[in-house]
Amino acid sequence: MAASGRYRALEQAGLLHPAPEAVLSEPFRSHPQFFASFDKVQVKYEMLRAHVVDGETATAAAGSHGYSRASFYLVQAAFERSGMVGLLDERPGRRGPVKLSPEVLAFLQARHRERPAASGAELASELEAALGVRLHRRTIEKALGGRG
């Protein structure tokens, strides 16, 4: 059955709706072969469509799709910002590279050895001038062994 393959793919991608039993919207009940209440992205899209196209209130659209009104507004903002990609959950964890790279740490350690009395703020300024990396003074102090 195609639905089981779809379910497995969504499960692996982390895109299963957390409460498919709460999806009470008519298309999901009358056409389950196409509208899958376990498909989080489809449910989010249909929730927005119900509001924009069908004229449902945000509260009604959210409720019939298993979301809160507050979640509706978050989904709406994500969609307006990024389109369909915005309906995917954001990956957990850091975004982009970590600023405290080995190169940055080596620079800070060298400066600290040269000038052990330099403050975190002074080292932050030197780091930004030398490598173009901006770090908070406390990040630098922690990286150098909790000074400050």
Residue 140, C-beta contacts closer than 8 angstroms, at least 6 positions apart: 108, 120, 123, 124, 127
Q: Does residue 95 belong to any structural domain of this protein?
A: no
Q: Tell whether 83 and 131 lie within a shared domain.
A: no
Percent residues over pLDDT 90 in the chain = 83
Q: Tell whether 70 and 119 lie within a shared domain.
A: no
What is the pLDDT of the chain when averaged over all its residues? 91
pLDDT in tens, 35-54: 999 999 999 999 999 999 99
Q: What is the pLDDT of residue 2?
A: 61
* Structural domain boundaries, residue 73: 2-87
Angle (CA) 79 5 43, round 5°: 25
Lowest mean pLDDT among 33-42, 68-77, 96-105, 112-121: 96-105
For the whole model, what pTM was predicted? 0.61
In this structure, what token pair is assigned to residue 95?
A: 């975004």
Domain end: 57, 87, 117, which one?
87
Higher local confidence (pLDDT), 146 or 104? 104
Q: Tell whether 20 and 43 lie within a shared domain.
A: yes
CA dihedral 144, 123, 96, 101 (to 10 degrees): -50
pLDDT confidence band for 100 (50 / 70 / 90): confident
pLDDT in tens, 49-87: 999 999 999 999 999 999 999 999 999 999 999 999 999
CA dihedral 106, 110, 113, 117 (to 10 degrees): -90
d(CA 104, CA 20): 47
Q: Tell whether 49 and 122 lie within a shared domain.
A: no
Domain count, the chain: 2
Q: What is the pLDDT of residue 129?
A: 94
